[in-house]
Amino acid sequence: MTQPTRDEAVATLDGLRHQVLTLLARVPEGQRTRTGIGGGDWSVKDLLGHLAHWESLAVEAIEAWGREARPQAEEYFAGGAEAIDAANAADVERKSGWDYEDVRTDADEVHERLLGAIRGMTDEDWHRTAPYPAERRNTMVSLVGSILGAPKAPFGHASAHLPDLEAFVSGLA
């Protein structure tokens, strides 16, 4: 599979973020912490925080490779679905006391840091191989694309949540 360029990755991330924010803008202030996304326990605040969490893991991965260290996300991937679910639950719990505006501010800041980190790389950095033994996700683009990915959609993490978010927002009307 051809890996996306840095510009393509940024365009995907920005396009999906725009879709998420457009939907979130339709959620009345009093409904932002109401659970029910995907029929589950997450609110739109939790979903926004979740997306920011994985973007922060991508930023950490970029920084870790710069230090020639193994990023935290690799530990989650190595632990499989249970480790990923536990990381997601821990982050939702960590942000449970935050209000929506704090989560939104954090998400905005993390997103800008991520885009800045990707834009600040050279193409050589983007295709650089892992500074540690790695069979999968062995280049920067494949690692960051996986951290921010969905099935068969590198950098498409938000796309996996859009149908549930759309259904939640439609149900508010």
What are the extents of the domains in the chain?
6-172
Within the chain, residue ranges assigned H as helices are: 6-24, 44-66, 72-94, 100-119, 123-126, 140-147, 157-172
DSSP state of 128: P
Residues constituting the chain = 173
**pTM for this predicted structure:** 0.94
pLDDT (tens digit per residue) in 147-166: 999 988 999 999 999 999 99
What was the pLDDT predicted at 110?
98
pLDDT (tens digit per residue) in 47-91: 999 999 999 999 999 999 999 999 999 999 999 999 999 999 999
Q: What is the dotted CATH code of the domain comprising 6-172?
A: 1.20.120.450
| Structure tokens that stand for 65 in this block | 């490779």
> CA quadruple 100, 101, 106, 110: dihedral positive or negative?
positive
> CA quadruple 96, 98, 101, 107: dihedral positive or negative?
negative
- Asked whether residue 14 carries a pLDDT value surpassing 90, the answer given is yes
What was the pLDDT predicted at 173?
67
